Amino acid sequence: MTTNDTLQLATFAGGCFWCMVKPFDELPGIVSVVSGYTGGHTENPTYEEVGSETTGHREAVQIVYDPELFPYERLLEIYWQLIDPTDDGGQFMDRGHSYAPAIFVQNEEQRKQAELSKERLKASKRFKAPIMTPILPAAPFYPAEAEHQQYYLTHPLDYKLYQKGSGRDDFTALHWNSREDKKRLRGRLTELQYEVTQNKGAETAYQNAYWDHFEEGLYTDVISGDPLFSSAAKFDSGTGWPSFTVPVEEGMIRREADYSGGQVRTVLRSRLSGAYLGYLTFDGPEPAKQHYHIYSAALHFIPKAELEARGLGRYVRL
């Protein structure tokens, strides 16, 4: 099903829908993320009715997205990391069918991709218990009441307390950042790349790969390959490290406060891989003066001539 020639729908149930919006929201190609109810036998159910476990509906989110910018496979990768796929009786502290996880597919292509993604998760042996999350045909989706939309923005404190208290964060850290994950990552990266991206390490000014590199192309996350910066936004800051005025996609970079070392800084991380990139300062060029101070070890450069072959042709215009 498509909403027009390019946009598509994706529907995921993963327990409380409050916690299922933020991980997808504002990513490149994500047009909207709506909380709602689906899979049941009643029309236009309310929050209270669904919670009574009499409607057959599950809490879910419906995503409108552009597959050219953010393919369904990536949505599935995010989804698996948000849930406990071995639990079909609810999710974390929320119990009952209305909180049970499920992937609702809109067409045969989504079904094939979802099945393949599920098989890969099984084969990874990441979970000892069987993967129980069903893949179901899409059903009518009913948006939830206004108070449940974008809950992480409208009730930030309540959201953070619930997210942490539910056990989701601890579960994700245990199963998706394990010793085996770290071992595999160490095998892929150089010692410096690992130290910078995982331990907020630094690299020597004027002695790194990209500080004076001005070839046309795209700088990507060294771990995930996600596009981060264009050569068109790169400038010589005089610091001896790669410096950029703006990212390619604002939604691919996460900012967080850092109080270590006796100073306050805004640390930059790649949103999907969590890799440490550098920090934000305000000593760049006018008029914004905003300056993305990035470490070469966190980046991988793709020349302009290779972008099409890498499936990144849409960035050639930059």
| Closest CA relative to residue 58, chosen from 13, 28, 94 | 13
Do 240 and 206 form a contact (C-beta atoms < 8 A)?
yes
Say what the pLDDT of residue 288 is.
Answer: 74
pLDDT for position 261: 74
Is the predicted pLDDT of residue 294 greater than 50, yes or no? yes
Is position 16 annotated as part of the catalytic site?
yes
CA separation for the pair 143, 59 (Å, rounded)? 10
**Spatial CA neighbour of 114 closest among 90, 85, 89:** 85
**Segment 14-56, tens digit of pLDDT:** 999 999 999 999 899 999 999 999 999 999 999 999 999 999 9
> So what's the pLDDT on residue 2?
41
> How confident is the model at residue 4, as a pLDDT?
59
SS3 (DSSP) at 35? strand
- The pLDDT tens digits for 124-180 are 999 999 999 999 999 999 999 999 999 999 999 999 999 999 999 999 989 998 888
Q: How far apart are CA 84 and CA 45, in angstroms?
A: 26
As a whole number of angstroms, the distance between CA 266 and CA 315 comes to 27
Position 283 scores a pLDDT of: 83
Q: pLDDT over 70 for what percent of the chain?
A: 99
CA 87 to chain centre: 22
From 3.40.50.300, 2.170.150.20, 2.60.40.10, 3.40.50.2300, which CATH number describes the 188-315 domain? 2.170.150.20
| pLDDT tens per residue across span 189-214 | 999 999 999 999 989 999 999 999 99
Residue-wise DSSP of 51-115: HTT-S--EEEEEEEE-TTTS-HHHHHHHHHTTS-TT--SEETTEESGGG--EEEESSHHHHHHHH
Q: In this structure, what token pair is assigned to residue 242?
A: 């790669």
Of the listed 16, 114, 222, 272, which one is catalytic? 16
3-state secondary structure of 20: helix
Cα–Cα distance, 232 to 279 (Å, whole number) = 19
Contact residues for 78 (Cβ-Cβ < 8 A; gap 6+): 23, 24, 272
Residue pLDDT, tens place only, 226-275 = 999 999 999 999 999 999 999 998 889 999 988 877 778 899 999 999 99
Q: How far apart are CA 259 and CA 276, in angstroms?
A: 15
Q: What pTM did the predictor assign?
A: 0.87
Structure confidence at residue 106 (pLDDT): 97
312 confidence band (pLDDT: 50, 70, 90): confident
CB-count burial class (<10 Å; 0-12, 13-18, 19+) for 142: buried
Domain residue extents for the chain = 8-176, 188-315
For the chain, the distance separating the N- and C-terminal CA atoms, rounded to the nearest angstrom, is 31
Could you write out the DSSP letters of every residue in 126-188? --SSPP---EEE---EEEPPGGGTTHHHHSHHHHHHHHHHTTHHHHHHHHHS-HHHHHHHHHH
CATH superfamily placement of domain 8-176 = Peptide methionine sulphoxide reductase MsrA (3.30.1060.10)
pLDDT range class, residue 1, cuts 50, 70, 90:
very low
Question: What is the maximum alpha-carbon separation in the chain?
Answer: 65
What is the residue-averaged pLDDT of the chain?
Answer: 94
